A and B are shown apart, each in its own frame.
Chain A
Amino acid sequence: MRPDTIYTPSQKIICRDIMGTMVIVPIESGIADFNDVMFSFNETGTIAWKCIEQNKTVKQICSAIALEYESDMDQIEKGVKELIDELLEKGIIVEWKS
C-alpha cells in the first residue's frame, strides 16, 4: 500500500450517517439487504471513511487522524493499513484508478 494510493467506496455498498454513526449497508442487485451484515466505524475509522469518501490518499488519511489524535505516526499508519486491508477484503472499498 503506497502513501499516494487513493481508495474509493465500492458500488456494492451504501453508507449512511445514522444518529452520528456511519453505517455501511451492502447492496446486491439493487437491493439493500438489512438482514445482511452491516458495519460501523469507531471514531478514527469514521475519520478515515470520510477521507475515503473525499478521495484522499492514504497519507492524507493518516494526517487527518494525526490532527485529531495524539499518537505517533507509525501507530496511525499501522491502524489505517489494517482498516484499509479489512475494507478491501470485505469489498467495501476499491482502489481508485484515474
Chain B
Amino acid sequence: MEELKLSGEGLYNLMKSFFTDGLKFKIKLVCPGFSMSPFIRHESLLTLKPFDVSQQPRFGDVVSVAVHKHKKIIIHRIISVKPPDYLLKGDNNKVSDGWFHKKDILGLVEKINFKNKEYTPRHWQNVLIGAASKSGVLNQIILPAGRHLKHLIK
C-alpha cells in the first residue's frame, strides 16, 4: 500500500467520482492559485458540499466545476445564470471562464479556512461580489484601489 497525493487529472477524476455518484460527503481541499484572491487566498482550505438534486446554483455562489476538456477542476464564482447554464469567473481574473452546464458544477464552497480562521460566506456577500465582478468594478476599481491602499499603509 502506498501513500498518494492527487492533483491535476487524478484530483479531477476523484472529485467527479465523489460528486456525481450521489455520495453525500463534503470535501475538504486546499485551493491553490490567486484567481479568487482576495476573497479566497492562495492555499486556503475549502469545504465543499454537493448540491442536492432540487438545489440550483445561485448568482454569486463559489462553485467547483469540472473542465472536461482540460481534465481539471476550477473553483470560481457564478456571475451569470441562465439555467441550466452558468457563467463563471475568478474574482481576480479579467475575463470569464465561459459557460458551464449544471451537470459540470460539482459542489458549492461552504466554508473558507485561511491560517486557521474559518469563514462562512453569506449569500448577500456573494451576490455583492458577483455583481462587482460581473460589472468589472471589482477588477478595475475595487481590487486596484485596495492594493494601492495596502501599499500606502506599508
Contact = CB atoms under 8 A, between A and B. Distances in A.
Interface residues on A, range: 20 to 34
A16 B2 contact: no
Interface string A76-89: 00000001001100
Contact of B3 (A30, A37, A45, A83): A37
A21 to B, nearest CB: 8
A49 to B, nearest CB: 9
A31 B4 contact: no
Contact of B30 (A23, A35, A41): A35
A86 B9 CA distance: 28
A45 B47 CA distance: 31
B26 interface: yes
B3 A32 contact: no
A39 interface: yes
Interface string B15-27: 1011000011111
A53 interface: no
A17 B4 CA distance: 13
B29 interface: yes
A19 B29 contact: no
A14 interface: yes
B6 interface: yes
Contact of A19 (B1, B10, B25, B30): B10
Given A39-B4, A45-B1, A83-B1, A34 B13 contact: no
Nearest 8 pairs between A and B by C-beta?
A34-B29, A38-B4, A40-B4, A31-B26, A33-B28, A32-B25, A18-B13, A16-B17
Interface of B: 1-6, 9-11, 13-15, 17-18, 23-30, 45, 47
19 contacts: A14-B25, A16-B14, A16-B17, A16-B18, A17-B17, A18-B14, A23-B6, A25-B14, A31-B25, A31-B26, A31-B47, A33-B28, A34-B6, A35-B28, A39-B2, A39-B3, A41-B1, A83-B1, A87-B1
